[in-house]
C-alpha cells in the first residue's frame, strides 16, 4: 500500500533555498576552483541542483559510504563502498550531503579525507537535524534547512530505498 506523505518542504521552497546557497558558495569561492564530493546515494539530487547553479569552475566526484546497521540508525562505524576516483591533494573540497543527523558518518569521513591533504574541506547539506547531533565537532558550513527530529524522504532521501525521486521533502504519516 502507498504511504501517506505530508509535504514538509515544497519543491519551490527547496529550489529557492538552493539558489541562495549556491549564490553564497559562488561568492565564497570567487577566483577558486571547487571540487564537489557527492555522497551517494542521498546527496545526488541535491548535488546536481547545486552544481547547476555554481558559476565557479567545478569538478565532481562521488563516494558511497555505509554505516553498519539499518539506514535509519547510524552506528558510527563507516565502511567505504565506493571511494573517490581522483586524489584531493591541494583541492578546495566541498562535501555535499543530503542530511546530517547524528553526524557520525561525516565525522568519520572528514577525518579520512583530511589525510589526503586537500587545500580545505567544507561541508554543505540540504538538511540538518541539529537536535540529533552526537558528534558536536562536525561543523556545517552551508545548510539549506534545519528541521525537527522527524524522518524525512524525498529529494534523494529514502525510506527502505523508496521515495528518493520525490521532488519535495516529506514526512511519512503512519
Ligand atoms: P548520521 O551519521 O547519523 O549523521 O547519518 C546520516 C545518514 O542517515 C544520512 O546520510 C541518511 O542516509 C540517514 N538519515 C538520517 N536521517 C534521515 C531521514 O530523516 N530520512 C532519511 N535518511 C536519513
Ligand atoms: Mg546519506
For 144-158, the pLDDT digits (tens) are 999 999 999 999 999
pLDDT digits (tens, 9 = 90+) for 17-66: 999 999 999 999 999 999 999 999 999 999 999 999 999 999 999 999 98
Give me the chain's average pLDDT, please.
Answer: 93
- Cis peptide leading into 36, omega within 30 of 0? no
Evaluate whether 95 touches 116 at the Cβ level (below 8 Å).
no
| 43 φ, ψ (degrees, to nearest 5) | -80, -5
Distance CA 59, CA 33 (A): 8
Quick one: angle between helices 44-52 and 11-28, nearest 10? 60
Catalytic residue among 101, 141, 149, 158: 101
Strand partners, 165: none
Q: Whose CA is nearest to atom 15 of ligand 1?
A: 101
pLDDT at 89 over 70: yes
Determine the atom of ligand 1 nearest the C-alpha atom of 104.
Answer: 2
Evaluate whether 108 touches 80 at the Cβ level (below 8 Å).
no
Ligand 2 centre to CA of 74 (Å) is 10
State pTM to two decimals: 0.94
Q: Are strands 142-146 and 120-128 parallel, antiparallel or unpaired?
A: parallel
Using a CB cutoff of 5 Å, list residues around ligand 2, an ion: 42, 98
Assess whether 128 carries a catalytic annotation: no
Indicate if ligand 1 lies below 6 Å from the C-beta of 118: no
pLDDT at 68 over 90: no
Q: What is the DSSP letter of 77?
A: -
What pLDDT does 70 receive? 56
Amino acid at each position: 500500500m502507498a504511504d501517506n506523505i505530508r509535504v514538509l518542504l515544497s519543491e519551490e521552497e527547496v529550489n529557492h533555498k538552493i539558489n541562495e546557497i549556491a549564490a553564497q558558495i559562488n561568492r565564497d569561492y570567487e577566483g577558486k576552483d571547487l571540487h564537489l564530493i557527492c555522497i551517494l546515494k542521498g546527496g545526488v539530487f541535491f548535488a546536481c541542483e547545486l552544481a547547476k547553479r555554481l558559476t565557479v569552475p567545478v569538478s565532481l566526484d562521488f563516494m558511497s559510504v555505509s554505516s553498519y546497521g539499518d539506514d535509519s540508525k547510524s552506528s558510527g562505524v563507516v565502511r567505504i563502498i565506493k571511494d573517490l576516483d581522483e586524489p584531493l591533494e591541494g583541492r578546495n573540497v566541498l562535501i555535499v550531503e543530503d542530511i546530517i543527523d547524528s553526524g557520525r558518518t561525516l565525522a568519520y569521513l572528514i577525518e579520512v579525507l583530511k589525510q589526503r591533504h586537500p587545500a580545505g574541506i567544507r561541508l554543505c547539506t540540504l538538511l540538518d537535524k541539529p537536535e540529533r547531533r552526537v558528534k558536536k565537532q562536525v561543523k556545517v558550513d552551508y545548510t539549506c534547512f534545519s528541521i525537527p527530529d522527524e524522518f524525512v524522504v524525498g529529494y534523494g532521501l529514502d525510506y527502505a530505498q523508496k521515495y528518493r525521486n520525490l521532488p519535495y521533502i516529506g514526512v511519512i504519516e503512519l
